[in-house]
Structure 1
């Protein structure tokens, strides 16, 4: 099985790509980082 690490933002694009990658045979590892920016831009 192929693996991919995905920088996960929580937006629509990353939320849709995870099931798509699974369907394509990838093991997906979602990476979320707290950069301490506080509020959204």
Structure 2
């Protein structure tokens, strides 16, 4: 149960960071996604 809660919290943190990056610079986020993605 604890691991599941921690996993969900991590996902929420990542989503929050992604939202901040989107508001800050969409082009930067897009280039980062291309670098990390396949």
Could you say whether these structures have the same fold, taking a TM-score greater than 0.5 normalized by the shorter chain as the test? no
Q: Highest Rg: 1 or 2?
A: 2
Greater helix content: 2
Greater strand content: 1
**TM-score class normalised by the smaller sequence:** 0.3 to 0.5
